[in-house]
Structure 1
């Protein structure tokens, strides 16, 4: 359910273990069986382009999401923010 809130997507899915999200021809499937995982995988990150990273930052704060890196303009021109999902996967929102 966290990804539906983070991505601001409504869904009829009531499955709390599998989250399958389809929007505009793109799908994202997230699996969490509730078991504690401690694989310390630091090699996976998921990035999403958003219209306004500052607006998304404020929205996610209201959802209680802990933000690791607040929105910051990068040398290549994008503005990024960084947080983790409940499984420790690194999530980035960026806007250009």
Structure 2
């Protein structure tokens, strides 16, 4: 069994999808207000409105993306005005992580896995 999809439920599909398209450098060619697939390879990332109101207090989940250079991404996100939770920091398990919020206050981690020297 594999995870087939991670879906983010939201009140504003276009706003959240536009954020993730900019964040991930993706152009899905969609302006749909109900459902957008942002990543379609491997595990899908979709933004969806199921017709119910969301309270945007998502406190029990996060998304993590592995990036080549977390410091460069940090500077790019600062330039985009993204709300940073924690600056890049070396972790005991061999990764350098940073965290930030998306427009719905979901927590996102960017991490660079450091090579053992």
The normalised TM-score by structure 2 is: 0.70
Q: Give unmatched runs, 5+ long, in structure 1.
A: none
Q: Confirm whether residue 65 of structure 1 aligns to residue 82 of structure 2.
A: yes
The normalised TM-score by structure 1 is: 0.84
Give, in whole Å, the separation in 2 of the partners of 1:94 and 1:69.
12
Which range moves more in the overlay, 46-55 or 7-16?
A: 7-16
Match of 2:94 in 1: 77
Counterpart of 1:55 in 2: which secondary structure?
A: helix
Offset at residue 95 of structure 1 (A): 0.6
Give the 4+ runs in structure 1 shifted more than 4 A.
none
Task: State whether residues 51 and 95 of structure 1, in contact with CA within 8 Å, keep that contact through their aligned partners in structure 2.
Answer: yes
Offset at residue 60 of structure 1 (A): 1.1
Instruction: Provide the alpha-carbon RMSD of the alignment.
Output: 2.1
| 1:1-96 equivalence runs, <5 A | 1-32=18-49, 37-38=54-55, 40-96=57-113
Aligned residue pairs, count: 95
Give, in whole Å, the separation in 2 of the partners of 1:69 and 1:42.
16
| Bigger-Rg structure (1/2) | 2
Task: State whether residues 37 and 87 of structure 1, in contact with CA within 8 Å, keep that contact through their aligned partners in structure 2.
Answer: no
Offset at residue 17 of structure 1 (A): 4.3
